[in-house]
Amino acid sequence: MTILVFGKTGQVATELQRLHAERAMVFLGRDQADLASPETCATAIDSLRPSAVINAAAYTAVDRAEDEEPLATTVNGAAPGAMARACADLGIPLVHVSTDYVFDGSGTQPWTETDQTHPINAYGRSKLAGEEAVRAAGASHVILRTSWVFSPHGSNFVKTMLRLARDHDRLSVVDDQVGGPTPASAIAEALLTLTDALRDGAPGGTVHFSGQPYVSWAGFARAIFATYGARTDVLPVGSDAYPTRAARPRNSRLRFSKAAGLGDTAPSWQEELGFTIA
């Protein structure tokens, strides 16, 4: 009953490896299955014949994707589609990680699974292409959308803020983008829970899984500094004061899905924040 995981070094994949002692899992990095060559993903699935597949790998360079949209779309769109078709052929489930960036960020209400998607940047378009390819393949699947992922691993907002705080008494941080910071550890556990549910015959579909309470980047920065005792003031600014190559959604709130086994309460980023930096 081996679970094949695409991804090895990302935040979520690293947390899944932490749970490896409790599960039979095989992890494939880029050297073994390069998502830029989608056929290698299908070949790996056909060769290993796992009981389920989790795709925790992705092209995540949001700004660079504006100049590399074909590559981003291959990695985030065509590769998950190839995985899903291989899973359909073998009759095994696929759990695929997606993002709040498939929405345009309008309004202030949390996005639901049935809301109309409308990405405003290349990264979001590439992730939406992946969702559509997975659904079209006909495999038993769950698409888990999440947002603002943080962990002790890799690059993320928490680690960036703490690094900058070492050299700055004040930082300007965007205050008009609001979302739900989500611990990678909670995502990893949710992926395994959903995988088990699919293997037990539960219906699939699209699931929203992000942390609460909702907060702006500036509010999140204040919480980070308070948690770690950093004496750095936060100056809230608008998105126009911090222009980026790719447009960012202003509203990244995702309404938490009460899916099979995930419970009734969204993960609390406040409870997990203190464990981010060892």
β-pairing verdict for 233-237 and 170-174? parallel
β-pairing verdict for 3-6 and 52-55? parallel
SS3 content of the chain, % helix, strand, coil (to 5): 40, 20, 40
Q: Is 101 assigned a catalytic role?
A: no
H-helix or E-strand spanning residue 174: strand 170-174
- Report how far residue 34's alpha carbon sits from residue 19's, in angstroms, rounded to the nearest whole number: 24
Q: Are 119 and 101 in contact (CB under 8 A)?
A: yes
Q: Which candidate in 101, 123, 214, 228 is catalytic? A: 123
- Report how far residue 180's alpha carbon sits from residue 255's, in angstroms, rounded to the nearest whole number: 10
- Indicate the Cα dihedral angle 72, 73, 75, 79, nearest 10°: 180
DSSP per-residue codes, 114-149: TSPP---SHHHHHHHHHHHHHHHHT--EEEEEE-SE
Using the structure block, give the residue that is written with the tokens 């992946």.
Answer: 130
**Residues labelled as active-site residues:** 123
